[in-house]
Amino acid sequence: MDTDYLVIGAGASGLAFTDALTQAAPDVEVTVIDRQRSPGGHWCNAYPFVRLHSPSAYYGVNSLTLGQDRIDQVGENAGYYERATCDEIRAHFSEATERLTQTGRVRMLTGHEHLGPGTDGERVRDLTTEQVHEIAVRRKVVDARYLEASIPSTHKVPFDVAEDARMVPVNDLPQAAHAASSYAVLGAGKTAADACMWLLDSGVQPDRIRWIRPRDAWFLDRRHSQPLKQVGATMEGISLDAEAAAQSDTVGEIFERLEASGRLVRIDPSYPATMYRGTMLSARELDALRQITDVVRLGRVRRIQADRMVLEHGEIHTGADVLHVDCTAHGLNNAPATPIFGPRRIVLQQVRYLSPCFNAALVGFVEAVRDDDADKNRLCPSHSYPSTIEDWPQMMSCTWTAAGRWLSEPDLSEWVAGSRLNLLRALPDHASEPSVQTAVMRYLTHVTPAIERLGQLDGSSAPRA
CA dihedral (97, 191, 205, 167) in degrees, to 10, reads 100
Q: For ligand FAD, what does the binding mask look like between residues 342 and 371, x meaning CB under 6 A?
A: --------------x---------------
Q: For ligand FAD, what does the binding mask look like between residues 382 and 421, x meaning CB under 6 A?
A: ----------------------------------------
Where are the alpha helices (H) located in 103-189, listed in sequence order? 173-176
Cα distance between residue 105 and residue 416, in whole Å: 24
Contact segment (CB under 6 A) with ligand FAD among 6-14, 162-170, 200-208, 416-424 equals 6-14
Contact segment (CB under 6 A) with ligand FAD among 49-57, 228-236, 238-246, 248-256 equals 49-57
Phi, psi of 162 (to 5 degrees): -65, 155
- Confirm if 22 and 105 have CB atoms less than 8 A apart: yes
Contact segment (CB under 6 A) with ligand FAD among 39-47, 63-71, 267-275, 400-408 equals 39-47
Handedness of CA 302, 268, 72, 206 (dihedral sign): positive
Least CB distance to ligand FAD at residue 58 (A): 8
Per CB under 6 A, 11 contacts ligand FAD: yes
Residues 163-222 that bind ligand FAD (CB under 6 A): 191
Least CB distance to ligand FAD at residue 151 (A): 5
Helix or strand (DSSP H, E) at 182: strand 182-186
Nearer to ligand FAD, 318 or 355 (CB): 355
Which segments of 274-340 are extended strands (E)? 275-281, 294-296, 301-304, 308-311, 314-317, 322-326
Least CB distance to ligand FAD at residue 446 (A): 25
- Among residues 7, 14, 92, 326, the one that binds ligand FAD under rule CB under 6 A: 14
Per CB under 6 A, 135 contacts ligand FAD: no
Cα distance between residue 365 and residue 362, in whole Å: 5
Per CB under 6 A, 147 contacts ligand FAD: yes
CA neighbor of 246 nearest in space, from 84, 461, 445:
445
- Confirm if 252 and 364 have CB atoms less than 8 A apart: no
User: What distances in angstroms separate CA 145 from CA 14, 113, 129, 291, one per listed residue?
Assistant: 8, 11, 23, 38
Per CB under 6 A, 227 contacts ligand FAD: no
Contact segment (CB under 6 A) with ligand FAD among 139-147, 162-170, 258-266, 428-436 equals 139-147
- Confirm if 259 and 219 have CB atoms less than 8 A apart: no
Nearer to ligand FAD, 146 or 442 (CB): 146
Specify the pairing of strand 301-304 against strand 308-311. antiparallel
Where are the alpha helices (H) located in 155-282, listed in sequence order? 173-176, 190-201, 231-247, 251-260
Nearer to ligand FAD, 86 or 311 (CB): 86
Per CB under 6 A, 35 contacts ligand FAD: yes
Per CB under 6 A, 59 contacts ligand FAD: yes
Cα distance between residue 13 and residue 362, in whole Å: 11
Contact segment (CB under 6 A) with ligand FAD among 9-17, 286-294, 308-316, 366-374 equals 9-17
Binding footprint of ligand FAD, residue count (CB under 6 A) = 31
Nearer to ligand FAD, 55 or 322 (CB): 55
Per CB under 6 A, 7 contacts ligand FAD: no
User: What distances in angstroms separate CA 1 from CA 30, 92, 121, 138, one per listed residue?
Assistant: 12, 28, 9, 11
- Among residues 6, 7, 8, 135, the one that binds ligand FAD under rule CB under 6 A: 8
> Partners of 217 in the beta sheet?
275
- Among residues 13, 23, 171, 349, the one that binds ligand FAD under rule CB under 6 A: 13
User: What distances in angstroms separate CA 394 from CA 195, 304, 401, 456, one per listed residue?
Assistant: 31, 37, 10, 11
Per CB under 6 A, 20 contacts ligand FAD: no
| DSSP class of 313 | T
Per CB under 6 A, 96 contacts ligand FAD: no
Phi, psi of 239 (to 5 degrees): -70, -35
| DSSP class of 337 | P
Cα distance between residue 140 and residue 324, in whole Å: 45
Nearer to ligand FAD, 54 or 419 (CB): 54
- Among residues 90, 92, 140, 145, the one that binds ligand FAD under rule CB under 6 A: 145
Q: For ligand FAD, what does the binding mask look like between residues 299 and 338, x meaning CB under 6 A?
A: --------------------------------xx------
Least CB distance to ligand FAD at residue 50 (A): 5
Residues that bind ligand FAD in the complex, under the rule CB under 6 A = 8-14, 33-36, 41-42, 46, 50, 52-54, 59, 113-114, 144-145, 147-149, 151, 191, 331-332, 356
